[in-house]
Chains A and B, each alone.
Chain A
């Protein structure tokens, strides 16, 4: 064992109380830091899962385009204008959707891809009307994507497959119209097609606005409601392996499909902003805690240096260089950091385990917090870094102590 390490260890061992106190500072700092970050990560993951019940990772659609001049005039003196430009799309359908889907399914990162037709319609009951949106889907594929089954209150998604004129409605609509399973509901689409549909299921999400407007119908039914043929598709929903890579992946999908692609984060911009705010807020609080711990370490190492001025002078007199003294005190800090961080990891584990057992209820269930290995690794690294930084300052001043000044006193 190197003599510097030996000296550092002896200093720590002969002053156990102080060592433990300094380590406890790190422990609390790291423990709370990891706990807070895990809280944010868990919360974000929970809200992301909420998004994925209604939003695909990536939505491919055709964007409405305004009419453009026919001639592309380069001359800068002349600027062509179109008075009263209108949306020039002949239809909002994607051309040859089955080809696009089979192309998408060949992509390595794509997990599922499914067609979707969005229909604006009114649900009618006597004189009362509710405006809403029906999603024309292949219910089996849509279920794989959004886990509709888990939100079902009554009926079964399989019933939609066997009932061409079936509809699964939100619980809000059912309540308002006093409609039950197997009742009929009258709908009229924005293009004026009226249908009587049979309610084969009722779902309830955590979003009341959605429950009062949304319904699922079979793909052919949605096409009929829009007076379109069977190749009419407004969107293609795509789920990929890692939803966090959706933003980067949209460009690629735009290239291979030729249509617009929108990732879930852009689609839920407001929620993303609050997520970011949350992360910054918690990050700031936990960094403040770490900083307090760092000051604790600084104080204790500084005190140790002040107490050991004589020892430092002796060490220098018997041939230890400034570098040796620096290394002795850095080693002490490192050991304090190591003990403190290890205990901090345990503390964080215990805190997370305790909190994750709290039952919140509602659509959240148990408190959304998990042991995240990345957060633990990051917490440990930051803890060690801050400890070493806090110890470095007094250690350096110890290295610069002039032994003669001590001996003269």
Chain B
């Protein structure tokens, strides 16, 4: 059975204006299928992070079109984009980026509380489930700033999962981790795409990590030079 296309770009062009006008992305067009585990690699400055921010809907200043789950994203208002991110996209960053004043549990719950569909108790229960999935349930009630880097990254993944998004995006999610923790992240992503049916898009330098994904897109100078098919 042919898998559904979850994310698609048509001729995306992105300029940077500072310090001089510079074409960072040149007619980038590709598609990603549902439950695919995709990595994007390339040298520093090739535009992979820039592309990532456009895919994430956080950057709306570009030319071309972006479709997520068949819906056109380009041209929507910032408030609508925020809602789309909240519902459909989970993020994992290189630096762990948790809210330091909240407990790990609360950090995970916040996106779901924002979505406001389920009750507080239900969200709390599901947050515990995610923590268990990532094997850090014992850290639940500690402040996010008091746990180790590897644990923080797992909490960040749990947070990305709480709203059961269709797409999970990572920007160098293992860049700051030792090999043991990096393996945990990789395994979690593989499991999510194979068993949970979620699409994973990860920007990475790590070639070992890229090799273990379903498909790798290679970028150079703002263009895709290898689609990985």
Which residues of A are at the interface with B, using a C-beta cutoff of 8 A?
3, 6-7, 10-11, 14-15, 310-311, 313-324, 403-404, 407-408
Contacts and interface: CB of A to CB of B under 8 A. Distances in A.
A3 B58 contact: no
Contact of A310 (B79, B82, B97): B97
Given A3-B110, A3-B113, A319 B86 contact: yes
B113 A318 contact: no
A315 B107 CA distance: 10
Contacts of A310: 97
A174 to B, nearest CB: 78
Give the 7 A-B CB pairs with smallest separation, nearest first. A319-B86, A321-B82, A3-B113, A14-B101, A319-B85, A321-B79, A318-B111
Contacts of B106: 10
Given A6-B113, A10-B101, A323-B79, A318 B85 contact: yes
Interface string B92-131: 0100011111100010001101111000000000000000
Contact of B110 (A7, A321, A323, A403): A7
A317 B56 contact: yes
A323 B82 CA distance: 10
B101 A316 contact: no
Contacts of A10: 101-102, 106
B141 interface: no
A317 B58 contact: yes
Given A3-B110, A10-B101, A11-B101, A318 B79 contact: no
Contacts of A314: 97-99
B59 A404 contact: yes
A319 B87 contact: yes
A322 B78 contact: yes
A27 to B, nearest CB: 25
B171 interface: yes
Given A324-B82, A407-B93, 7 more contacts: A10-B106, A314-B97, A316-B82, A317-B85, A319-B86, A319-B111, A407-B171
A7 B86 CA distance: 17
A311 B99 contact: yes
Give the one of A313, A315, A317, A322 with max B CB within 10 A: A317
Contacts of B91: 317-318
B227 interface: no
A318 B159 contact: yes
Contact of A322 (B53, B79, B86, B110): B79
A314 B86 CA distance: 11
B175 to A, nearest CB: 13
B83 interface: yes
Interface of B: 49, 53, 56, 58-59, 78-79, 82-87, 91, 93, 97-102, 106, 110-111, 113-116, 159, 171
Contacts of A404: 53, 58-59
B79 to A, nearest CB: 4
B83 A319 contact: yes
A311 to B, nearest CB: 5
Nearest to B94: A407
A318 B114 contact: yes
Contacts of A319: 82-87, 111, 114-115
Contacts of A408: 49
Contacts of A7: 99, 110
A315 B106 CA distance: 13
9 contacts: A7-B99, A313-B97, A314-B99, A318-B111, A318-B159, A319-B83, A321-B79, A323-B79, A407-B53
Interface centre among A11, A15, A311 (most CB of B within 10 A): A311
Contacts of B78: 321-322
B25 to A, nearest CB: 14
A404 B56 CA distance: 10
A321 to B, nearest CB: 4
A352 B85 CA distance: 55
A133 B87 CA distance: 89
A324 B106 CA distance: 18
Nearest to B79: A321
Nearest to A403: B58
Contacts of A11: 101
Nearest to A15: B101
B68 to A, nearest CB: 14
A323 B77 CA distance: 12
B58 A316 contact: yes
A317 B56 CA distance: 8
Most buried by B among A321, A322, A323: A321
A333 B98 CA distance: 23
A224 B97 CA distance: 98
A318 to B, nearest CB: 5
B99 A320 contact: no
A188 B216 CA distance: 120
Contacts of A323: 79
B144 to A, nearest CB: 11
B162 to A, nearest CB: 9
Contacts of A311: 99-100
Contacts of A316: 58, 82
Contacts of A320: 82, 86, 114
A408 B93 CA distance: 11
A324 B97 CA distance: 19
Contacts of B93: 317, 407
Contacts of B59: 404
B114 A324 contact: yes
A407 B58 CA distance: 11
Contacts of B84: 319
Contacts of B101: 10-11, 14-15
Contacts of A3: 110, 113-114, 116
